[in-house]
Amino acid sequence: MGLLIGREEAAALAERLREEGRTVVLANGAFDPLHVGHVRYLKAAKECGDTLFVALNSDSSVRGLKGPGRPVITQDERAEILCALEPVGYVLIFDEPTVEQVIRALRPDFHCKGTDYTPGSVPEAELVRSLGGEVRIVGDPKNHDSSAMIRKIKTDGADGK
């Protein structure tokens, strides 16, 4: 079971893990709402190393990225759900529009992104490499979409289904 921690605590823990010879893996996202594609992404990310940290977009960050009406699940509830998943070691919430500051703090050995990215399209790839890490594309094909899921729920709900 994962643990919700702050950024400074996560950075110190990541450093200690590296000193012990363990590999630190970072995954990130909004996870709003969580779906099977997210679970597969997190399982695959965990397979890249010893300890998986998940950087979770805060409510205000999600609103800035996804627009009004998002998130549909609060950051505290999304964090609790992520902490309950077996592959997840630690969850930290970040408020910035990108995960760059978290990467600088944790200096992960592996920064994992989903299959909606390619190695050349990961915005943080250069930063990760400059800190000695590697970017990996993991998970199943991008056949799941939280926004589409929300639209379907709204449409089906309007039809009384």
- Among the listed residues 45, 36, 37, 33, the one whose alpha carbon sits nearest the alpha carbon of residue 2: 45
Distance CA 117, CA 141 (A): 10
> How large a percentage of the chain has pLDDT more than 90?
81
Radius of gyration of the chain (CA): 16
Determine contact, residues 33/45, Cβ cutoff 8 Å.
no
Say what the pLDDT of residue 161 is. Answer: 54
- What parts of the chain have a pLDDT lower than 50? none
Say what the pLDDT of residue 152 is. Answer: 66
Please give the tally of structural domains in the chain.
1
Q: Has this prediction a pTM greater than 0.85?
A: yes
Q: Tokens 């910035």 map to which residue?
A: 96
Edge-to-edge strand list for the sheet holding 51-57:
3-4, 90-94, 51-57, 24-29, 110-113, 134-137
Q: What is the pLDDT of residues 48-94, one digit of tens each?
A: 999 999 999 999 999 999 999 999 999 999 999 999 999 999 999 99
The CATH number given to whatever domain includes residue 21 is 3.40.50.620
Look up the domain containing 126 and give its range. 3-158
Distance CA 104, CA 49 (A): 18
Question: What type of residue sits at position 86?
Answer: E
Say what the pLDDT of residue 51 is. Answer: 98
Distance CA 30, CA 58 (A): 8
Distance CA 63, CA 77 (A): 16
Distance CA 150, CA 64 (A): 17
Instruction: List residues bridging with 91 in a β-sheet.
Output: 4, 54
